[in-house]
Structure 1
Amino acid sequence: MKSDEEQLRHNIVRWSRSLFERGFTVGSSGNISVRLDDGFLSTPTNSCLGFLEPERLSRLDSQGQHIGGDAPTKELPLHMAFYEARPTARAVVHLHSSYATALSCLSDVDPDNAIAPITPYVVMRVGRVPVLKYTKPGSADIVPLIRQKASHSSAVLLGNHGPVVAGTSLEGAVFAAEELEETAKLILLTRTMPVRNLDAAAVADLETSFRLR
């Protein structure tokens, strides 16, 4: 029987491959981390999510210091900032998925919430998605920006970069990232059409009924 950490290593590899094979991220872009009871696991720097090996995942201590496996993703500062701001977060998924990244590049999206409540599931699984100003990938400059927003939002769009989603489990974070991408696609497809968003009462009802994040 696998230990909890061994199982999580295999789950990271499995979900990473699934996201890569379905085009949610390409090349060596994107990264995933999971919180353990005594530290963290993360995908290695410059690795392809489609071809990870469980034993080579980066092992970090409770302070985020590298203690085993390959060197961790350079985006580790944004992951650690999410864990700090959201004590219930057990996983963080950062992708370069096409539609969510496209939204992060548009100058006229609402910076406080780029994802309109166009479907009930985006409200239930993702919630409000602020857009953070551009910072260089891997820079610690992103940390205070995430700390400011992540306590109230389980997902953000990094300006001109892409989505980051936290969840109370690895599967939950992956599902929310997928829902965010699909909703971004719907928003862009209907961008020139008269759209009927869910009203405030419907959003409030969903937020009360479904606390999935």
Structure 2
Amino acid sequence: MTNSTPTLFQPPDNVVAPSAIPFAEGWHESRALSLKDIKDIVAAFADSARHAVEAGFDIIEIHGAYGYLLNEFLSPLTNRRMDEYGGSFENRTRFLLEVVKAIRAVIPNGMPLFVRVSAIEWMEHIAEPGQAEQTWDLAQTIRLAKLLPDLGVDLLDVVSGGDNPAKRIESDKYAQVRLAGRIREAVQREAKTLLLGAGGMISEANMAKVIV
């Protein structure tokens, strides 16, 4: 459970996050994960992937979007840690990249590995002019995307939105598609091979046909 889990559904000790921050007023303050907790979760991801292979699954996708735990580590809004998992881009992406490496190590070489991320949080309106990396944004997603091919990731599944009740989501159905397109262009300029997908608000067959 993360810091966006309401009081009704769980006792306080089960609310974990990068930092001890409640989702909103009236919600439990989350418990910041210890370094041991993080290592245990990385190992649990690897165990889950191993079980999925044994069960006959064909693809593994790591969910790092929509305010899920890995997404919370990426965002400066929900990650205010002062250790090796917080602060800089390198530190905030460390948890996700450790999960990627752990899973890639236990699944077959030819098995596709996908990663889902929110390209932006829709929190640009709170950013102070001239200050970078105040929220998780497209520039950081592009930096992350360029790291993934060398770690054995085959596809980046692009969505948007994070873990903040103040987010202002663009209603345009093609928003995720445009974000994925910009990431693809940036990755291709680096001569790296990474497939891009876009999800969310694609609700009609004709729309999907146009995108493809």
Q: TM-score range by the shorter chain?
A: under 0.3
Q: TM-score under structure 2 normalisation?
A: 0.28
Q: Which has the higher contact order (CA 8 A, sep 6+)?
A: 1
Q: TM-score under structure 1 normalisation?
A: 0.28
